[in-house]
Structure 1
Amino acid sequence: MSRWGLTIPLTGVPLTAHRELVEQLPDLGYTDAWTAETAGTDAFTPLVLASQWAPQLRLGTAIVPVYTRGPGLLAMQAATVAELAPGRFVLGIGASSPVIVSNWNAASFEEPFARSRDTLRFLRSALAGEKVTEKYETFAVSKFRLERPADPPPSIMLAALRPGMLRLAAREADGAITNWLAASDVPQVRSVVGPDVELAARIFVCPTEDAEAARGLGRMLISSYLTVPVYAAFHDWLGRGEALAPMHEAWAAGDRQKANQVIPDAVVDELVIHGSVESCREQVQSYVDNGLTTPIIALLPTGGDPFEQVRGLAPR
């Protein structure tokens, strides 16, 4: 069964003001509410609220960085939300980016593949209630045991872009979470993880028929994200390296304005959904049709009523 998710909280909407909408999501056809963690809300608190507002929803983090909390604290927070939403919480973890990890959180961004793998393995044991004493490649834990392990333990999904991390997600996690891809890219990613693994993706949706406004916002987002080395490598693998090369050259030269200008319309239109609400909903569905299990809508601000837009984007 395909799922249908929404990223919360919505931009510009106070966290407590989400109750009215979140309570309606299951009746609208949404199955999931997912959070992110950059420099806004933390990933867990909105899900604590949602667990009480809409007990039918599956809740997920997409994603929590593996560097910005100690392994034990990460397990504690995951177990807490899992206790509030028994069998309905998915812990999505990932390497994040050097900006978030090092520049903003004073942690060392080293060996992202190994750190993600080691954190995943630790969490598997810890969230099962085991006492963990283990020397992993990237950290060591001695005699850690959760005082309140959740029953059942939460699922764990791994943020993954390229084949190595995608294969790790398929092999050791309960699914893969990806980001910044077009509907036409889904089969390439699916071919790596296999047919039976849950594949989730955050999809940026800008419901406006002002194409130039949507593309302007999309360009700013694309130049901010896809110049990060891991995303640049992801899009090289997907086949957009040549189309994005002028953006990378301008960005490296320090010309942010030019970097935005040289992103082709075709690339923006592939990566940022825009148009009428009905058209946007159909474009989200195209990801599902191409093999995505769980679309996670990230609503971009347009000046319209975001609650009405979320209602309009509900699955049909």
Structure 2
Amino acid sequence: MESELSSPAQRLGVTVPFDAPLEAHRGLYRALADAGYTDVWSIESAGTDAFTPLVLAAAWEPRLNVGTGVASVFTRGPGLLAQTAAALAEAAPGRATIGVGVSSAVFVERWNSVPYVKPYQRARDVLRVLRSALAGERTDLDGETLQVRGIRLGRKPAAAPPVVLAALREGMIRLAARHADGVMTNWVSPADVRQVVQTYRDAGGSGTVVDRIMVCPNPDAELVRTSVKPLIARYLSVPGYAEFQRWLGHADQLEPVWRAWHDGRRDEAAAAVPDELVDGLVVHGTPEQCREGLRQYREAGVTLPVVSIMPFGVDAFEGALALAGR
């Protein structure tokens, strides 16, 4: 069924899983497809891994495309990552996209005891191995961060799934243009998207532009702003995100936030986030206003918006349905 935000020519994704047991998601996936969502994209941070929710979606709801958003290039070896990606592509033939990224030092080093070094080079090396292996080729690589010998998948997917790279800053965006099938970003405004897309296209990228867009379908603007500011302060103080925001031209707005955060003054950091920055990075308001906000992202060059429903005064799943006009 077509929603107000998707059409046969447009895809619309939503971030999963929701705050419910995975075994309860069968009905949720069906309802999302009924509402007009075409894609479900996972998140891999402190909750589930990137693949398990999508394997369930692939089996339970064949109308949905599935995408990892994202699997770390550090925490799985390239052979295992290729095997897992191929298995997802086999479970959802023609419907899977593999999103990979460098994650963060916290997740890679502190949680997984893997050195977080040369992230750009690691992403480049993994992309080379992953795309070659998924194409069914015997793969060898003497890279800057990887040395692999003779990777060849015993169960090659019928069609190699597209691989997109989560990119923060110009170098990664250009890497996505050269070595991936698309680029993925988040915590950006429509104006920021134009800068990302221009850089990607100028570097020769012609693939999908995926954007995880923070959305809160709640008309209480003050509640949304107050609730989201601590999250913005925490995320945008991570070194990779901070450099990305500098590249996008937001340093003047964020310098007070960064100073307070790095001094350990968390409440002051959140309070220093300007309202206008929140309004640029988070789509909020009535469902109708949020739909208009998402249209602005499409007009800026996003080809696959993936909404992440913020549960501030709303239930995330019900908010997703309301956003789709259901």
Both structures adopt the same fold (TM-score exceeding 0.5): yes
Taking the TM superposition and a 5 Å limit, the aligned residue runs for 1:237-248 are: 237-248=247-258
In structure 2, C-alpha distance between the alignment counterparts of 1:51 and 1:315, rounded to whole Å: 24
Instruction: Supply the distance in 1 between the matched residues of 2:316 and 2:70 (Cα, whole angstroms).
Output: 23
CA distance in structure 1 between the aligned counterparts of 2:316 and 2:249, rounded to whole angstroms? 34
Return the match for 1:286 from 284, 296, 300.
296
Matched letter for residue 22 of structure 2: L
Are 1:52 and 2:59 counterparts? yes
Question: CA separation in 2, counterparts of 1:121 and 1:196?
Answer: 18
> TM-score scaled by structure 1?
0.96
Match of 1:14 in 2: 21
Query: Partners of 2:129 and 2:199 in 1: how far apart?
Result: 24
Q: Which residue of 2 aligns with 1:139?
A: 146
**CA-to-aligned-CA distance 1:56-94 (integer Å, 9 cap, x gap):** 221101111100011111111101110001111100001
- Provide the identity percentage: 49
Q: Which of 308, 313, 316 matches 2:318?
A: 308
Which of 156, 168, 177 aligns to 2:163? It is 156
Once the two structures are superposed, what CA deviation does each residue of 1:193-250 show, in whole Å capped at 9, x if it has no partner?
A: 1173311111111121222221122111111110011111111111110010000111
Q: Give the distance between the partners of 2:140 and 2:314, measured in 1 at CA.
A: 52
The one-letter amino acid paired with 1:26 is A
Aligned twin of 2:133: 126
Question: Hey, what does 1:108 align to over in structure 2?
Answer: 115
For 1:279 and 1:16, how far apart are their aligned partners in 2?
33
Alignment counterpart, residue 37 of structure 2, candidates 11, 27, 30: 30
Please give the root-mean-square deviation of Cα atoms over the aligned residues, in Å. 1.5
Q: Tell me the distance in 1 between the aligned counterparts of 2:218 and 2:75.
A: 36
C-alpha contact 1:2 1:288 (8 A) present in aligned 2: no
1:98 alignment counterpart: 105
**Separation in 1, partners of 2:178, 2:88:** 25
Report how far residue 276 of structure 1 moved: 1.3
Q: Is the 8 A contact 1:278 1:312 kept in 2?
A: no
1:127 Cα shift?
1.1
Q: Which structure 2 segments of 5+ residues have no match?
A: 1-8
CA contact (8 A) 2:230 2:267 kept: no
SS in 1 for 2:165: strand
Deviation at 1:303, TM superposition (A): 4.4
The number of equivalent residue pairs is 315
Whole-Å Cα distance in 2 between the matches of residues 306 and 127 of structure 1?
Answer: 34
CA distance in structure 1 between the aligned counterparts of 2:230 and 2:20, rounded to whole angstroms: 21
Counterpart contact for 2:216–2:319, Cα < 8 Å: no
